Structure formats: structure tokens, C-alpha cells
Amino acid sequence: MLCFRGVTFSYPGALRPALRNVTLTLSPGEFVVVMGPNGSGKSTLTRLGNGLLVPAQGEVTVDDLNTKDPSVLPRVRQKVGLVFQDPDNQMVAATVEEDVAFGPENLGLPPEEIEHRVEEALVTLGIAALRQRPPHRLSGGQKQKVALAGILALKPRYILLDEATAMLDPRSREEVLGLLNFLCRKQGIGVLLVTHLPEEALMADKVVLLYEGVIWKEGTPEEVFSRPEELIKRGLEPPQTVLLAQRLARRGLNLPYKALRPEELAQVLWVLARGGL
């Protein structure tokens, strides 16, 4: 488990802590979405999660490895992959294949193992055909898949994504989210996704809302989005389908669950129209 226990962190010269007394867990196979307005501490959380930053108070442990211990940081970073918002900032090599191999090479793995891991990562993410392409020639969505492949090749237990879909067009975003869902549900990787886009929270097991460095709400998507006015006051907005479902429910429609993706909501409405549920 990736655990944040009572974590407080401040940047030098900042007027207030970026995170205050944050306690949060991410289990393997769990999908957690973190949302909050700019400056709420989301990015800081991800950087603490893989040991790029170390808490001033409290602790971050990754399967019992404490990120305050410098000697375990290489193992922490192998277990916890981090994908940033701008894929261009993460490409280091001349070809996709070399870029994905970069991490395993730095682990000192034998060449055959590196080759095997690179192949597996490229195939899992559906980008094997791009292996010889220069990363800078790829689309935004393709670049993020390469970044993910580079992390997968390290065989992580957890993947943290800091607004990694923000710059992607909707189709690419759906593809990347679909892949994350697959990695989480089928490969048992714990995924923590930081996003501004409320629709992305609908696939989460747990949604965590940050405001001024503090967790002010946490729960399932349905629980977290149940009171839209609270979210709007704190610079957030619920998914459009949740607002629609809430409006239909206020008219008396018995919707068993309101935090649904568009196609799911359509299915529920169709069944209701047929007298079901």
C-alpha cells in the first residue's frame, strides 16, 4: 500500500503549507482520483508519493519503504511511477523504444530482460508499431502512452498521474483512461489520477477533494458529487451527467445511482423507460 500519514509539506518561502496533515492510502488495484483547484496541493501530493519530495511532518510509505530514507528511494521509484502533464518534458531518447528502455537500463537489468520488458510495455499500450518513431513526432496522446510504457517497463505497483490527460484531445484522453483502467483492474496496479476534469472521476473507486492543502471530502464518486454547491464554492464542478441525473431524480425518477458515465446513464434511463429497475 502507498500511504500518506499525517503529511505536511511546505515549499521554501511559501506563506502556507502546500499540504497539511494529509492522510490517504492507495492500494494495488485501486483507482483513486484526486481533484482540487489550482494551488490545492495535488501536484505536491504526487511528488511526495514517489519520493521526489519528502514531508516535513508525517510520513509517506510505499509497501513499508519510508521515503525519508534516502537509501530506499531507488526502490520507491521503481514501485511508484509518475507521469507528468506535459509529455514533452518526459521524453529523453531518440526513439520510442529507447525511451521506454531508459528506466530498465537504469535499474541495471540484463539486456534480454530489458528487451522483454520494453516489448511487453509497448504491446500492452498498443504502441508497438511506433517503436522506431522519434517521440517528438508523436501526437500528445501517443506521447503519454510512451511515458506510461516507460513506467510499465519498471513493473510498478503504483502509477501516479499529475494531470496527464489535461493537454490531450478527448479521444486520446479516453484511450489513456481506458488503458489506466485496464492496468488497474486487470494488472492490479494502484492508479492515482490527478485531474481537473470531473468526468474522469466517474471511473474511480475513491475520489479525494483537496482544498488549500487539506482533504475536505473523500468517498465514492456518488458521495463526493452529491452536493454540487459545495464543490462549486471550492472551485470545482461535478460531471454534467451527475447534474443531469440529480435533476431527473428531483422530478421523482428513481435512479439507483447517479454518478454514471454518459453511456451508463443512457442504459439506466433506457431500462427505466421500459419499466425496469
Partner 1 sequence: MEILLKGVSFSYQLAGQDLTALKDIDLVIHPGEILAITGEGGSGKSTLAQVIAGLLKPTRGQVYWDGKPLWSPKGKRLLPWQGKVGLAFQQPEDQLFAETVAEDVAFGPQNLGLPPEEVEKRVKEALKKVGLNEEIFGCSPFSLSGGQKRRVALAGILALDPDILILDEPTAGLDAGGRRQVTHIIREFHRRRGKTVILISHNMAEVSVLAQRMIVLHKGQIVLTGTPAEVFARGGQLEEWGLLPPPLTRVLLELNRKGASLNLAAFTLEEVEEEIWSWLSGQERCICRFL
CB of 33 to partner 1, least distance (A): 14
Q: Judging by beta carbons within 10 Å of its beta carbon (0-12, 13-18, 19+), is residue 213 exposed, middle or buried?
A: buried
CB of 199 to partner 1, least distance (A): 6
Residue closer to partner 1 (CB basis): 71 or 254:
254
Looking at residue 131, its amino acid is R
CB of 159 to partner 1, least distance (A): 20
Residue closer to partner 1 (CB basis): 136 or 186:
136
Helices within the chain (DSSP H only): 42-49, 73-79, 96-106, 111-124, 140-152, 170-185, 221-224, 228-233, 240-250, 262-273
CB of 10 to partner 1, least distance (A): 16
Residue closer to partner 1 (CB basis): 34 or 65:
34
Residue closer to partner 1 (CB basis): 29 or 235:
235
Contact residues for partner 1, defined by CB under 8 A? 36-39, 85, 139-141, 163, 166-172, 174, 196, 198-199, 232, 235-237, 239-241, 243-244, 247-248, 251-254, 261-263, 265-267, 269-270, 272-275
- Measured between alpha carbons, how far apart are the two ends of the chain, in Å? 37
The b/e string for 246-273 (b: 16+ C-beta within 10 A; e otherwise) is: bebeeeeeebeebbbeeeebeebbeeee
CB of 261 to partner 1, least distance (A): 8
Among residues 75, 79, 143, 153, the alpha carbon closest in space to that of 116 is found at 153
Residue closer to partner 1 (CB basis): 62 or 231:
231
